[in-house]
């Protein structure tokens, strides 16, 4: 089942299920099962809605809705850097003994088909296709063997990066938190619907050209290791997001013309999670 956050017919934010090209409104302007998709996760509704329930809700064609970030209001977004071996090798950051962790602010996110905003202060705007997971219950000091039980669902993410701001100092936060640079969606798929993440393939395309392609099984620090590590230093709540890392092939190391320009169309496709598409626009 594919869940999404989107703009309701009256212009307010809502959420629901997208099935066979139709978006069903389960939020405040529709069936009103919960106020947001994050609230649906908190209340245990996410992943439990039946066809009989959602097919009674107000609906519109998927092509008519404006997508919002899959989780619009996460309390925390924890991002993992250089977490595929190929990306470690291209960036010269091999031999890690602990995950590289940074934060992204919720108000930097945008949805599927929204512009990716290239700041006027940079000439080094880059893509990073990733898989994100959403926490389903309170998580603190989680053991690796228990980690899968804490995942509500998964979605595609594009951690657009402003490389000159990122590289200006040892801390990456400035280069990862410009407005309109955290693409998340179009869908959030329940973990139990997706099966083993090792079977998933992540592919990033720029103007139709494949730039990144890897199996999620190639993560250097596994999903259980990430959840255990992150919850070792911060308590996670339902709706919090962990963005698990990007494969090799980012624009910075792609070669001449690898970085992004206004008008470029960037797609992140992950098996079973759909295709996240954003077009680069120069900051106004």
pLDDT one-digit tens code per residue, 28-68: 999 999 999 999 999 999 999 999 999 999 999 999 999 99
Question: Where does residue 101 rank: exposed (0-12), middle (13-18), buried (19+ CB within 10 A)?
Answer: middle
Q: Is the pLDDT of residue 170 over 90?
A: no
pLDDT-derived band at 237, boundaries 50, 70, 90 = very high
**Percentage of the chain surpassing pLDDT 90?**
93
For the segment 177-199, the average pLDDT, to the nearest whole number, is 97
pLDDT-derived band at 147, boundaries 50, 70, 90 = very high
- Output the pLDDT for position 60: 97
How far apart CA 14 and CA 26 sit, in angstroms, is 7
Backbone angles phi, psi at 49, to 5 degrees: -70, 130
- Output the pLDDT for position 209: 97
Q: Is the pLDDT of residue 103 over 90?
A: yes
For the segment 201-212, the average pLDDT, to the nearest whole number, is 98
Q: How far is CA 14 from the centre of its chain?
A: 18
- Output the pLDDT for position 159: 98
Residue with tokens 């410009």: 178
Q: Is the pLDDT of residue 255 over 90?
A: no
For the segment 240-253, the average pLDDT, to the nearest whole number, is 96
- Output the pLDDT for position 15: 98
Question: Which of the four CATH numbers 3.40.50.720, 3.90.850.10, 3.40.50.300, 3.30.530.20 does domain 77-282 have?
Answer: 3.90.850.10
**Bridge partners, residue 182, by sequence:** 109, 159
State how far the alpha carbon of 203 is from the alpha carbons of 83, 169, 221, 253, in Å. Answer: 15, 29, 19, 17
pLDDT-derived band at 88, boundaries 50, 70, 90 = confident
- Output the pLDDT for position 92: 78
- Output the pLDDT for position 90: 84
pLDDT-derived band at 161, boundaries 50, 70, 90 = very high
For the segment 108-135, the average pLDDT, to the nearest whole number, is 97
Structure tokens at 131: 């898989």
- Output the pLDDT for position 14: 98
Contact 116, 180 (CB under 8 A): yes
Residue with tokens 């911060």: 234
- Helix (H) / strand (E) element for 137: namely none
Structure tokens at 216: 């999620």
- Output the pLDDT for position 94: 81
Q: Is the pLDDT of residue 96 over 90?
A: no
DSSP letter for each residue of 13-72: EEEEEEETTEEEE-STTTT-S-SSHHHHHHTT-TTT--HHHHTTS-EEEGGG--B--SSS
- Output the pLDDT for position 230: 98
Q: Residues of CATH 3.90.850.10 domain(s) within the chain?
A: 77-282
- Output the pLDDT for position 31: 97
Q: Is the pLDDT of residue 122 over 90?
A: yes
Question: Where does residue 284 rank: exposed (0-12), middle (13-18), buried (19+ CB within 10 A)?
Answer: exposed
Across 56-94, b (16+ Cβ under 10 Å) vs e yields ebbbeebeebebbbbbbbbebbbbbbbbbebbbebeeee
């Amino acid at each position: 089942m594919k869940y999404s956050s989107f703009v309701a017919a009256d212009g307010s934010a809502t959420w629901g299920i997208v099935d066979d090209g139709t978006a069903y409104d389960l939020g405040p302007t529709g069936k009103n099962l919960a106020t947001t998709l994050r609230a649906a996760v908190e209340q245990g509704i996410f992943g439990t809605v039946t066809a009989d329930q959602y097919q009674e809700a107000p609906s519109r064609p998927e092509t008519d809705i404006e997508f919002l970030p899959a989780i619009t209001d996460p309390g925390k977004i924890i991002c993992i850097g250089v977490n595929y071996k190929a990306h470690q090798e291209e960036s010269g950051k091999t031999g890690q003994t602990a995950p590289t962790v940074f934060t992204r602010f919720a108000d930097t996110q945008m949805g599927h088909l929204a512009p990716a905003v290239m700041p006027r202060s940079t000439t080094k705007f880059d893509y990073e296709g990733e898989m994100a997971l959403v926490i389903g219950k309170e998580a603190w000091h989680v053991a690796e063997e228990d980690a899968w039980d804490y995942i509500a669902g998964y979605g595609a993410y594009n951690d657009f990066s402003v490389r000159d701001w990122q590289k200006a100092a040892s801390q990456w936060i400035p280069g990862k938190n410009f407005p309109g640079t955290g693409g998340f969606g179009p869908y959030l798929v329940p973990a139990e619907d997706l099966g083993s993440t090792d079977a998933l393939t992540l592919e990033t395309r720029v103007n139709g050209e494949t730039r990144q392609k890897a199996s999620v099984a190639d993560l250097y620090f596994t999903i259980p290791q990430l959840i255990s590590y992150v919850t070792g230093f911060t308590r996670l709540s339902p709706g919090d997001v962990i963005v698990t890392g990007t494969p090799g092939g980012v624009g910075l190391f792609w070669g001449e013309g690898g970085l992004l320009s206004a008008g470029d169309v960037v797609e992140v496709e992950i098996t079973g999670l759909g295709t996240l598409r954003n077009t680069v626009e120069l900051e106004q």
